[in-house]
Amino acid sequence: MNGTSFKDSEVTPGVEYYYVVSAYNEDVKGTDSKEVSATIPQNLNPILNVTINEESVKVNELFTSYISLKNVSDIYAEDFTLTYNADLIEYVGFEEIEGYKVFSELKGTKGIIRFIVASQGEEYGINKETNFLKIIFKAKAIGTGTVDAIKCRVADTINEYDIDEVGCMQDSVIIKGPDDVNRSGSYTLVDLAIGGFYFGKTAAETDTVNHVADQVADGNINNDDLVYIVNQILINPNYEPNM
**pLDDT, tens digit (0-9, with 9 covering 90-100), for 2-54:** 556 666 666 666 677 777 777 776 677 767 778 777 766 665 799 999 999 99
Q: So what's the pLDDT on residue 17?
A: 79
Domain region containing 189: 178-243
Last residue within a domain, chosen from 148, 176, 204: 176
* Statement to judge: residues 196 and 162 lie in one domain: no
51 shares a domain with 124: yes
pLDDT > 80? residue 243:
no
Residues 91 and 54 in one domain: yes
Position 129 scores a pLDDT of: 96
User: Is the pLDDT at 56 greater than 80, yes or no?
Assistant: yes
The model's pTM is 0.68
Q: How confident is the model over 112-149, as pLDDT tens digits?
A: 999 999 999 999 999 999 999 999 999 988 899 999 99
Supply the pLDDT for residue 143.
92
Q: In this predicted model, what pLDDT tens digit does every residue of 211-237 receive, in sequence order?
A: 999 998 899 999 999 999 998 898 888
Q: Are residues 242 and 150 in the same domain?
A: no
Q: Is pLDDT larger for residue 102 or for residue 176?
A: 102
The per-residue pLDDT for 235 is 82
Domain end residue (candidates: 124, 155, 176) = 176
What's residue 2's pLDDT?
Answer: 57
**CB 69, CB 46: distance < 8 Å:** yes
Is residue 6 domain-resident?
Answer: no
Higher pLDDT, 241 or 106: 106
Helix axes 189-198, 223-234, angle to 10 degrees: 180
Domain annotation covers residue 26:
no
Q: Are strands 170-176 and 56-58 parallel, antiparallel or unpaired?
A: parallel
What backbone torsions phi and psi does residue 40 show, to the nearest 5 degrees? Answer: -80, 120
Which pLDDT score, from 0 to 100, does residue 236 have? 84
Q: Which amino acid is at 235?
A: I
In this structure, are strands 89-96 and 112-119 parallel, antiparallel, or unpaired? unpaired
Residues 148 and 219 in one domain: no
State whether 196 and 172 are in the same domain.
no
CB atoms within 10 A of CB 65: 25
**pLDDT of 76 higher than 80:** yes
Is there a single domain that holds both residue 185 and residue 171? no
pLDDT value at residue 225: 96
How many domains, in total, are found in the chain? 2
- Do the domain assignments include residue 1? no
The CATH number that applies at residue 143 is 2.60.40.680
Predicted local confidence at residue 125, as pLDDT: 98
Identify the pLDDT of residue 119: 98
How many Å from the N-terminal Cα to the C-terminal Cα in the chain? 95
Q: What angle do CA 135, 136, 139 make, to 5 degrees?
A: 135
Percent of the chain clearing pLDDT 90 (strictly above): 69
Whether 191 and 241 share a structural domain: yes
187 within some domain:
yes
